[in-house]
Structure 1
Amino acid sequence: MSHFDGLINTTMPVADEDFVAEGNYVAEGSQAGLDEPPNVGIGYELVGRRTQPNAPIHMVRSWIGPTDEPTLWVKEHAHDYDEFLMWTGSDPHNPRDLGAEIYFDMNGERRTITTSGSIFIPAGVPHCPLGFIRIWRPFLFTVLSLAPSYAAKAA
């Protein structure tokens, strides 16, 4: 037995959370209300209970690919815990440039985002829709839940 058992994640398992509240394709396909956007990559668990049973947080990361089509990705929802969303551009010479124009609503207020960054979402605050206006270069999208597992409820 190693000191690393249950602490290190070297497998990055596919995230299989229930995203029905968000209207996302992951759980119920078209029954959830949204089809899978073709430019959204697989979500991989970086931190979580699948490989780190005592982890107090949950983090998933996906690549988002180029598209010229405006796309709604996630519907409005809320959580019983705090959450961070992060988006990181892939240009090593200008990491602040997202390479995309996306939109995000929180408590009914919309922001258009074109730079790498993050947002802190306090527990209980309705957030999203989240969508893409245009993406010309892939970027990473990360969700950090300040809870051991992901759960959402319709807002």
Structure 2
Amino acid sequence: MSGSGNQYDHLFVKHMPVCGPDDFNNEGEAADLEPPKNLGEPNWLLHAGLVPDAKVNMTHIWIHETEVPELWVVPHVHDYDEILIWTGGDPDNPHDLGAEIYMDIDGERHTITTSGCVYIPAGVEHCPLGFTRVDRPFRFSALSLAPHYVSDREERAAERARAREAD
């Protein structure tokens, strides 16, 4: 890549910033659950704050080994489409995830053991998401078809709190 001042330099993200604790305050990992101990450092690959013209946002994290089942993300909904991607870390066998993870889509449980992804349409509740076991590290990315990450989790938590107060 050539030096600065080129017409398209502003489109390159050359350093993935760390996702802060408030970046996913609607998700279980940063809300009311202790994050799983096998998570690597979460990084932003892209969002409108990094590339102002971006119409999508994407994160990346390594998931490390664990024999202990872990819940990672609690149920939530987005008003945009999302693609969750998991890729095994063995270059000689890229289809083998090296793990068993689970994820619910609208209450339907799915077990995942191969590299792949899931397309989640806007408005569809998804998660819980967790690990049954992780035998070797794999990569996990979330691609949201929106310039910034948001979910309904804070709104739902407020509704539950109001219901508890009414009881």
Query: Structures share a fold, TM > 0.5?
Result: yes
Task: Report the alpha carbon displacement of residue 141 of structure 1 after superposing the two structures with TM.
Answer: 0.2
Question: In the alignment, what sits opposite 1:21?
Answer: 26
Identity between Structure 1 and Structure 2 (%)? 52
The answer to whether the 8 A contact 1:89-1:140 is kept is: yes
Unaligned ranges ≥5, structure 2: 157-167
Task: Report the alpha carbon displacement of residue 24 of structure 1 after superposing the two structures with TM.
Answer: 1.9
Q: Distance in 2 between matches of 1:51 and 1:19?
A: 17
Matches within 5 A, 1:44-55: 44-55=43-54
SS in 2 for 1:85: strand
The answer to whether the 8 A contact 1:13-1:50 is kept is: no
Q: Distance in 2 between matches of 1:84 and 1:132?
A: 18
Question: In the alignment, what sits opposite 2:105?
Answer: 106
Unaligned ranges ≥5, structure 1: 26-31
Larger Rg: 2
Which structure: greater strand fraction?
Answer: 1
Task: Report the alpha carbon displacement of residue 33 of structure 1 after superposing the two structures with TM.
Answer: 1.4
Q: Distance in 2 between matches of 1:131 and 1:23?
A: 11
Q: Distance in 2 between matches of 1:79 and 1:48?
A: 16
* Structure-1-length-normalised TM-score: 0.91
* Structure-2-length-normalised TM-score: 0.85
The answer to whether the 8 A contact 1:24-1:74 is kept is: yes
Question: In the alignment, what sits opposite 1:28?
Answer: none
Q: Would you say 1:95 and 2:119 are equivalent positions?
A: no
Task: Report the alpha carbon displacement of residue 22 of structure 1 after superposing the two structures with TM.
Answer: 2.0
Structure 1 stretches of at least 4 aligned residues deviating more than 3 Å after TM superposition? none
Q: Would you say 1:33 and 2:38 are equivalent positions?
A: no
Q: Distance in 2 between matches of 1:50 and 1:19?
A: 15
RMSD over aligned Cα atoms: 1.2
